[in-house]
Structure 1
Amino acid sequence: MQSVMAEEQHQVVHKYKVIPIMVSLLICGFIGMFNETSLNVVLSDLINQFQITASTAQWLTTGYLLTLGILVPVSGMFLQWFSTRQLFAASVLLAILGTAVATVSPGFELLMIARVIQAAGVALVLPLMFHTVLVIVPLEKRGTTYGLIGLVLVVAPAVGPTISGLLIEQLSWNWIFGLTLPVLLLALLIGIRYMQNITTITKPKIDVSSLILSTLGFGGIVFAFSSAGEVGLGAPKVVIPLIVGLLAILIFAGRQLRMKQPMMDLRAFKHPMFSVGTIMLMIAVMVMMATMILLPMYLIRGIGLDAFSTGLVLLTGGIVNAVTQPIMGRVFDKFGPRLVVPAGMVLIAVVLWLLSGITLTTAIIHIILLHTFLMIGISMVWMPSQANGLNQLTPSLYPHGSAIMNTVQQVAGAIGTAVAISIMSAGINSFLKQTADQSDPANAALAMTAGIQQVFGIAVGIAIVGFICSLFMRRVQGSKEQ
């Protein structure tokens, strides 16, 4: 009976041009995630060129994340209202438009608009990519495919600062966007040629109240934590939108559970492996995003490296992660998550513990090795957990599950970054209070290192919680229920 079902599934999947479809989606996803961090190392140049403040310049990143936080949660509804080809074309055209406008932007205002347009395209393509895998890729091959997606989602933001640092030194910041335009056009051409409509359009009733609550909830939380790195967790600019966001999400969740056709079906959490996978995803993203903001600060403001050299130090981890993501996907396909995910959490915990002991005299090669092993650990946790969780859902929950996990990813990224900066700042202040000369640059570097040590120390505890959760994971066989 199982062989007959497998043969039927193979026949259904075989009609899709899986490789070109996934290539077009992966290209778009890579460019989208690359753009998320590509401006981080050039904000200082933009501040000088546009004659703006640091807080204003930070909106080029905050606005991007905020747009994702607002649009990704409603992507499940889009998947039920529009065909796959329509959503793909819309997402890529938005990305192309935003990138083109950014390339020629003469000032901050137009560049800010371009960033929002870019993010709107990414907000559509990420859930579409996960949903497409669930429909066109056989269950036994999804781990490998998710490994390729993991390569995109992890490596792109990791190499963004490196590539941007090189371009800003040799050319100008406009080239960060200009060089991606031909790549997006290629993805559009491939997608138009091979993308097929893979879902049934049901056009559920649009609940305006849910849209408003989702925007206030997820948008408020992302805005709050994105602002926390600048003004601190206790500032009104953070506390007020955070409270509004949490209240809106609570009301939103209650409303979704009562609706017959919810905008985001939270009943996906009734599947235990989906719930565990979501927790593991959140922990992996928080650790990665915190590390991605802390290590560059340590290397630049502590050790004294320039932006490009810092990018090169972190590039090794990105490359190794690119290699290990597909490998971990194949390991997951063969053995399931029971071995690979707990082992990955142990590796993450050990590396974080070692990072909690770094000093200004720590050798660069030591940092490279620790960052590389951390990226390996994250690749062992992220995609296997996400793939296993989504595999347990019924087909009717595919759009909602994809939207939920992509939303969690955005919120976790904002939380990880903000909490890391806040803990580091508290550690810096605590260290400086104990020094006689707070204006001494040497003490400033020591204080920042002490703050970073505290963040990694707390992160060890989070990793241990993740390890305990990973012990409850079991392999699922998927569901045919509609």
Structure 2
Amino acid sequence: MQNQAVSRKTMLAIVGAGLLAFCGVLVETSMNVTFPTLMKQFNLSMSVVQWLSTGYLLLVSLTMATSAYIQRRYKIRSIFIFAGLSFIVGSFVCGLAPNFMTLLIGRLIQAVATGYAIPLLFAIILQQIPVARLGLFMGIGGMVVGVAPSIGPTYGGMNTYLFSWREIFWFILPVVVIAVLLGSFTITQKIKTRRDTFDLFGLILLGISFFLVAEGFTEAGNFGWLSSQFWGFLIAGLVVMALFVYHSFHSDRDLLDLSIFKSPTFVLSIMAYFLIQLMNIGISYLLPNYSQLVFGANSLAAGAAILLGSLVSGIVQPISGRLLDSHGAGYPIRIGSTLIVIAMLLFAIFGLHLTIPLIVFFYLIFGLGFGFSFGNVMTNGIKQVDDSLQQDANAAFNTSQQYAGSIGTAIMAAILTSSQHSDSHLSQAVLSARGGHHDFILLAVLAMTAFVLILINFQKQAKNAKA
């Protein structure tokens, strides 16, 4: 058992990195519940205000795409301190913001911090935790980045209702300071750094692609799903993504090693992971806004409606990680994906007849499913590549996780916005309920798609094990 021991210093390093990652993801969704307030305060539409989330998630995604290179180039302790200080600066900018643009700039500064903090958390776990206990600790990491988005609306709603949205940034500062101090004294370097040439052009292509696709979904809310604006941005984004892939395979500069995608089981894992996170961020955005726009609930009640499911999800993730260690990945992931399908079907069936208690109950089922599947899908996926590619696999999973969040937010907002503009004779509450129902139907389809991908993946893994 000695080779399975985890030192106290490593545990404290994980706590420090975990706290910083948690704060980044908490702030990520805590602003979602403030959108109706910000729309009134700054006299802006939903499609503009939602860029506080979409823009944040886009930049987090791009930062994460560089994390494999950054971790090879610089010491992880230095990266961690930079991320912590950036988050503190961003919090001050947001807390003091006199207008929407300043608030957005502060959010983008925080996005860079979060984009480095989350991959660092998983890098420490992958590099310093024994394989026999990897599922448990990856489950803890998954708990940090998976549950915080759901707790965010409760935290944001409480502050907005009792104080103002600015307190979202002030109250979290002491935790960030503690995290920075803790990580600074405990994070150690296990892998030698090396000087590679950074692929700036590849990053620019990736950023343009991410922006165009996300903007396409935003435009769908303003002009419709059949509009030239939506399809123009979407097709342009996919073309630029194809250019990025071509460039990456023909460049000797370093950004992200795309050879990880040569493994079909890795590809199936990351696709399922992408969809699960899209549903997680999408519904944590949708439900608080639905509660306010349809039921007239205040921000505190709207955020609290998903708190129970979030807490259950957090409790379950380390437990499900231990199940992976003892029984393999298939057992907890199949349970989780089944529960997610059930939850989304219930939301879709009752979409026009929801109540706050039903939202709490259905989201509780989703939280259970998310807890069993989310972190384990990532752990299982990273195991599908060689050890030498783990940093790139980690970066790819974290990038997909955040980009899934930006796309999920954009799609949910676009469907809500398009519904609100569809009939001037109906009230905004009725139109928002209709848009929410359409969102739930889409989420149910995505849940079933993820379930099928997971089944195919384990069939392929079983065949590979026999070969």
Q: Same fold (TM over 0.5)?
A: yes
Partners of 2:375 and 2:339 in 1: CA distance: 16
Please tell me whether the aligned partners of residues 29 and 122 of structure 1 are also in contact (alpha carbons under 8 angstroms).
yes
- Gapped regions of structure 1 (runs ≥ 5): 1-5, 433-437, 478-482
Aligned to 1:188: 180
2:425 to 439, 451, 456: 439
Give the drift of 1:322: 1.4
Distance 2:147 2:180 in 1: 22
- CA drift of 1:248 comes to 2.0
Cα distance in 1 for residues equivalent to 2:316 and 2:220:
33
Greater RCO, 1 or 2 (C-alpha within 8 Å, sep 6+)? 2
**3-state DSSP of counterpart to 2:364:** helix
Partner of residue 439, structure 2: 455
Alignment of 1:345-356 (within 5 A): 345-356=337-348
With over 3 angstroms needed to count, the CA separation of the structure-2 counterparts of 1:273 and 1:133, relative to structure 1, is: farther
Letter in 1 for 2:13: I
Structure-2 separation of matches of 1:97 and 1:231 = 37
Q: Deviations over 1:79-137 (max 9, x none)?
A: 11111111111111111111122223333343222111111111111122222211111
Query: 1:356, CA displacement in angstroms?
Result: 1.2
Tell me, in whole angstroms, the C-alpha distance in 2 between the residues paired with 1:377 and 1:340: 9
In structure 2, the CA distance between the partners of 1:101 and 1:348, relative to structure 1 (3 Å rule), is: same
Return the alpha-carbon distance in structure 2 between the equivalents of residues 383 and 156 of structure 1.
Answer: 13
Q: Secondary structure at the match of 2:306?
A: helix
Q: TM-score, normalised by structure 1?
A: 0.87
Instruction: State the 1:42 CA deviation.
Output: 2.3
Match of 2:256 in 1: 264
Of residues 125, 134, 151, the one that matches 1:142 is 134
Q: Distance in 1 between matches of 2:340 and 2:60?
A: 27
- Which secondary structure state, in structure 1, belongs to the residue aligned with residue 349 of structure 2? coil
Unaligned runs of 5+ in 2: 463-467
Is the aligned partner of 1:418 residue 2:410? yes
The one-character-per-residue Cα deviations of 1:348-407 (angstroms, maximum 9, x if unpaired) are 112211111225554432221111001111222211110111123223212211111111
394-403 or 50-59, larger mean C-alpha shift: 50-59
Match of 1:288 among 280, 298, 316: 280
Partner of residue 37 from structure 1, selected from 29, 47, 53: 29
Residue 465 of structure 2 is matched in structure 1 by: none
Tell me the equivalent position of 1:384.
376
Amino acid aligned to 1:25: A
Task: Say whether residues 1:252 and 2:238 are aligned partners.
Answer: no
What SS class does the counterpart of residue 42 from structure 1 fall into? helix
Alignment partner of 2:32: what SS? coil
Greater Rg by CA: 1
Is 2:448 the partner of 1:464? yes
Please show how residues 9-28 of structure 1 align to structure 2 within 5 Å: 10=3, 17-28=9-20
Q: Which residue number in structure 1 is paired with residue 116 of structure 2? A: 124
1:331 aligns with 2:315: no
Q: How many residues align?
A: 461
Q: Letter of the aligned partner of 2:435 in structure 1? A: G
Structure 2: distance between partners of 1:16 and 1:201 = 24
Q: Is the 8 A contact 2:273 2:378 kept in 1?
A: yes
Judge conservation of contact 1:91–1:122 (CA < 8 Å) in 2: yes
Question: 1:324 is matched by which residue type in structure 2?
Answer: V
Structure 2 counterparts to residues 69-84 of structure 1, below 5 A: 69-84=61-76
Distance 1:210 1:102, change over 3 A: same
Letter in 1 for 2:59: T
Aligned-pair Cα RMSD in Å = 2.7
In structure 2, the residue corresponding to 1:116 is in which secondary structure?
helix
The 3 A distance-change label for structure 1 pair 178 and 234 is farther
* Bigger Cα displacement from structure 2, 141-150 vs 221-230: 221-230
Distance 1:226 1:428, change over 3 A: closer
Hey, what's the Cα distance between the residues in 1 that align with 2:119 and 2:24? 12
Aligned residues of 1:228 and 1:418 also touching (Cα < 8 A): no
SS at match of 2:66: helix
Residue identity in the other structure for 2:395: A
The correspondence for 1:61, drawn from 33, 53, 59, is: 53
Match of 2:107 in 1: 115
Q: Deviations over 1:169-197 (max 9, x none)?
A: 22222211111111111011101110111
Contact 1:100 / 1:177 at 8 angstroms: preserved in 2? yes
For the 8 Å contact 1:233–1:422, the answer to whether it is kept is: no
Higher alpha-carbon deviation: 110-119 or 202-211: 202-211
Match of 1:356, SS state, is helix
Alignment of 1:135-284 (within 5 A): 135-225=127-217, 228-229=220-221, 232-233=224-225, 238-259=230-251, 262-284=254-276
CA contact (8 A) 1:69 1:219 kept: no
Counterpart Cα distance in 1 of 2:288 and 2:159: 18
Q: TM-score, normalised by structure 2?
A: 0.90
Counterpart position of 1:342 = 334
Residues 225, 414 of structure 1: 8 Å contact kept:
no
